[in-house]
Every structure is written in structure tokens, then in C-alpha cells.
Structure 1
Amino acid sequence: MENVSLREMGYTVCISFLLVSFGCQKLNYETVAKNIAKEAKTNLIEKLTASLASGGTVKAIPFCKQNAVKITNSIGMKNEVLLRRISDKPRNPTNALSDEERNIFLEIGAKQSKEGEYPSKIISTKDTVTVYIPIPTVGLCLQCHGEPNLEIKKETLNVLQKEYPADLARGYRVGSLRGLFSVRFTK
């Protein structure tokens, strides 16, 4: 059933781009960006869940190191956008925030609603539109991104240290802002 929803999301993104290309409607960047981010998130979670099921966090960590950026990049290319996952506490240095992104991250983090949701943010320049979509921490994340020796087991910490010696992506709680999807469109 989830494969159908991924396909439907892909169709929605493609149809939106076609309509804009032919001048039939104005592109709603935020809606399209959210669909692209949802596709990436769903794809990553499906593959991560399978990796966790076949070998726990000890197997999932090397999988993420080898595949998370590739999966994100391929979904971005398929949708003709620059898609990145960025964080103030990156595990992979390529996901580190720029100074401008740090300010956006702090702004989004400060605007968490009473319901625990974070807003998106749109930045438009002459040539691009970038939509920043929050990535809140969910329970599944805590096995590798929670508190060391509480949610993160010692064997997991050992693999993290081996794979990511400069790891900063720990200490999160359910609902905390773990990162952002950055979806950049060229005008």
C-alpha cells in the first residue's frame, strides 16, 4: 500500500511541474516540496526499517552511512530539485548547516506549536526558491539519536564511534527538531 502512496506522490510532483511548465497554474512550492520531502522520508524509513529488522542498529548504521545521502540525492534528481537533509547536530558532515541555514533552523525551532509541530519556511531569491521542512524526532530515531546509554545501547555507541568519529547527532527526545529537509527549486 505504501508503494502506491509513493507512486501517487511522484505523480503529484510530476503533474505539478507539467502544469507549471505549460503555464496552467502557478507552482505552489511549499506543497510540492512537502510531497518531495514526504517521498524521501518514506523511502528512507522503509529502507532503514528493513535494515533494522535484519540486523538491528549495528547493521542499520553502516547502511545509513552508505545510503542515506544517495537516497536523498536520487529523489532530488528525480524531482529536479536540490534535496538535502540538514541539521544543527549532524552525524554526516555533509548535512551540516550553513550560517544562513542555522538562522532558519533556530527560527523554525523557536516556533514549535502547542501541538508540537514546526512550521516550514520559504526563502525566495531571483533564481531559486528553497523550502525548509522540519524533521521532528520520532521514537524510531532514539535508538541511534537519543541519549547515550539510555536509548542508545553500548554496542550501538561503539558502531557510531567507528563509523562517525565526529558524530554530533545524539541527545534528541521525541518531538525535538532533529533537522530540516531543504528543497531548492530553480526558477
Structure 2
Amino acid sequence: MKKAITFIKLNVLILSIFSTLLSCKNANKNEVSKIKVPKTKKEQLTLSKGFQLLESNCFACHSPKNPIEDRIAPPMAMIKDFYITNNKNISEEDFIKSLITFINNPNEENSKIPEAIERYGLMPKMNFTEEQITQIAKYIYNSKLEQPNWYKNHFHNEKFIHLENLKNEDLSYKELGLKYAMNTKAVLGKNLIAAIKNKGTEGAVAFCNTRAFNIVDSAGVTLNTKIKRVSDLPRNLANTANKTELDYIYSTKKAMKNNKKTSPLVQEIDKKMVAYYPIVTNTMCLQCHGVPNTQILPATLSKIKELYPTDKATGYGENELRGIWVIEMDKK
């Protein structure tokens, strides 16, 4: 009987220790990761849209897989680390607000990562809607992309899951056109920044002259649509806007002059759905499109005159309309 009691006590002790260890383990897990598991289909869909936006628009520059020497922008894991991990008390709402503020107006004052600006420069201004930035921010905040080897171990599995969530989603023409424009812009921007990094601004002018048009055209072929960039003040005559495109350009310039928010436009033309999206200048643009001999260095200006004798695309300031994306889509 005594042995039986001792045995029972021993079992109780073991169970007690096991329960304590399990509680500690769960408590530590909760402390380390404050990630919220989405419970509703709506929340899951929001995260899936955020992932898709990151993959098609952001990862081209903010790559989660490139080695340090090949990076042209900080990886998303670093961004999350600076915004969230270094500020453990930041709420999801505050993180979303910070990201909206910076992406809508990327400048040093709004940046949380001065080291990244010193190394990579400021990112171009993007044409995301506030809803899309919110979706991106929610995915970053709730994901675990800061974990070591996230891309290798989790990316492809997550992509499959999010594609499954989105497979029945029917994008509007405005959303679909923006996706195509941002995807093309990301690829073009990645190559342009690499050209500046490797060969200087003169090298970037040469890149635009020989490769930019082909990259945009190839993107259209890949996406089974027609994509082009046009302007009222073109550098390359092939990018001259037609009358319909000029109407949108002039109305957008007027809105910007009056400090009004610009909006994409979608209209039906010749049984096609055609969408227009603004292209706005930032600091990087002014190296080739700013004031000659001040923002545009003499060597760069000389290269521009050599390659584009009819150039009209100088004298811009920051946050001015440089041109527009034109996306021509088949009707559904």
C-alpha cells in the first residue's frame, strides 16, 4: 500500500513538472511572437492580398533572398525589424499608419530606417491605394518573414496558400491594371537602380535608351496585355501621349496643383478597357529629369543630349507628374 501511494505521488509530481514546463513554453512562445492568427475568411483574404502585393510589387527590390552585395533596397525582414521588433509596443494600427505615411510620401522625415537611405537612397513614390498599403502592412505585421530562412522554408508554401485564398477573387479593371503597372514598374525600377549603382547616372541614361522600352514591352507580353509609359513632355518620341492620354495628364496635373488626390482612370476604347495611372517624380528621378547642370550633372546632361536630341523631359521638381502608365486590357 505504501509503495502504491509513493508511486501515485511520483506520478502527480511528474505531471505537475510537465504541466509547469508546458505552461512556461507556451508563455515564452506568446512573449516571443505576438502574431495574431486570422480567424475569419475576411482576415485571411486581407493577408493573402497583402502577400500578393508584396510578391508582385515589392519583392523585386526588397528581395527576401538576395545576398547582401546584390541588394538594391532593404529586405522586408529588416523593415519589419526596425518598425516592429525594435519597438515591441507598436500596435498593428500604428504600424499601418507609419507605412501609409512613408509610402505615400517617401522622405527622410517619414523614414524609420536612416541607414537604408544612406545605403540605397529613397524609394520612388508608388501608386498604391491606402487600402493596398493597409493589406501589405497587415501581412508584414502578422507574418513571420523575419525568421531565418523564411524564403527558403516558407515562401513557396505561403504562396500556394494565398493563391488558393484568392483564386475566386475577381479583380476590377482598375485593380488589375494597377497590378500590371506596379509589376512592370518594380522590374523596371530594379534594373534602373542597379544601372545607377553599377555605372552611375550616365549608365542609367544609356540603360533607358537601350532596354527600358523592351522591358515594358516584354512585361506586357508576359502579362498578356499592352503596357506603355507616355508623357506630354517625352524624352523618347515613342513615349508621346495621344489626345486621350493628354486629357488625363492635364486633369491630373491640375488636381496635383490644387493639392487634390489623384485617381486612376479606366475607360472603354475600341472594345478594350484602358487604364491610366500617374507616374510621379522623386529625388532619384531628378538625377535625369531635374534642373540641368544642378540636379542633372554635366556628364549626365551630355549623355542625354547625345542619345535624345529632341528631349523635353527636364526641369522637373519632386512630386510632379512625369507621365502616366497606360494599360490596355481585354474585356472580361
Normalised by the length of structure 2, the TM-score is 0.49
- Work out which of the residue numbers 31, 43, 64 in structure 1 matches 2:175: 31
Aligned to 2:27: none
Alpha-carbon distance between aligned partners in 1 of 2:189 and 2:171, rounded to the nearest angstrom: 28
Letter in 2 for 1:93: L
Which residue does the alignment assign to 1:104? Answer: 248
Aligned 8 A contact 1:87 1:179 in 2: yes
Q: What residue identity is the alignment partner of 2:235?
A: R
1:150 aligned residue? 294
Equivalent position of 2:23 in the other structure: none
Tell me the secondary structure at the aligned position of residue 284 of structure 2. Answer: helix
Tell me the C-alpha RMSD between the 2 structures: 2.3
Aligned counterparts of 2:270 and 2:200: Cα–Cα separation in 1: 46
Alignment match, 1:67: 211
2:196 is matched with which residue: 36, 43, 52? Answer: 52
1:179 aligns with 2:323: yes
Q: CA deviation at 1:112?
A: 2.4
3-state SS of 1:132 partner: strand
Q: Relative to total residues, which structure has the larger strand share, 1 or 2?
A: 1
Contact 2:57 2:186 in 1 (8 A): no
Contact 1:148/1:170 (<8 A) preserved: yes
Q: Which amino acid in 2 is paired with 1:186?
A: D
5+ residue gaps in structure 2?
A: 1-53, 60-158
Matched to 2:304, the amino acid is L
Structure 1 counterpart of 2:92: none
List structure 1 runs of 4+ shifted beyond 4 angstroms.
24-27, 113-117
* Cα distance in 1 for residues equivalent to 2:221 and 2:261: 28
Structure 1 counterpart of 2:307? 163
User: 1:26-81: per-residue Cα shift (whole Å, max 9, x none)?
Assistant: 54011011111111111111101111011111111111111111111111111111
Partner SS for 2:256: coil
CA shift at 1:159, angstroms? 0.4
**CA distance in structure 1 between the aligned counterparts of 2:272 and 2:257, rounded to whole angstroms:** 28
Select the structure with the greater relative contact order (CA < 8 A; seq sep ≥ 6).
1
The answer to whether residue 281 in structure 2 is matched with residue 137 in structure 1 is yes
The TM-score, its normalising length taken from structure 1, stands at 0.84
**Given that residues 88 and 105 in structure 1 are in contact (C-alpha distance below 8 angstroms), is that contact kept between their aligned partners in structure 2?**
yes
Give the secondary structure class of the aligned counterpart of 1:111: helix
Counterpart contact for 1:86–1:181, Cα < 8 Å: yes
Q: Which amino acid aligns with 2:224?
A: E
Could you tell me which amino acid in structure 2 is paired with residue 154 of structure 1?
Answer: P
CA contact (8 A) 1:134 1:177 kept: yes
Whole-angstrom CA distance in 1 between matches of 2:261 and 2:207: 29
Residues 118-164 of structure 1, C-alpha deviation per residue, up to 9 Å, x if partnerless? 21111113511100000000111000000101100111110000010
Contact 1:116–1:175, Cα closer than 8 Å, also in 2: no
Structure showing greater Rg = 2
Residues 111/7 of structure 1: CA separation in 2 closer, same or farther (3 Å cut): closer
Distance 1:113 1:171, change over 3 A: closer
Question: Structure 1 residues 164 and 7, CA, compared in 2 at 3 Å: closer, same or farther?
Answer: closer
Letter in 1 for 2:181: A
The sequence identity of aligned pairs, in percent, is 29
Equivalence for 2:55: 5
Secondary structure, counterpart of 2:294 in structure 1:
coil
For residues 261 and 299 of structure 2, the distance between their equivalents in structure 1, rounded to whole angstroms, comes to 32
Change in CA separation of 1:56 and 1:132 when aligned onto 2, cut-off 3 Å: same
Answer yes or no: is the 8 Å Cα contact 2:57–2:182 preserved in 1: no
CA distance 1:117–1:152, shift in 2 (3 Å)? farther
Equivalent pairs counted in the alignment come to 174
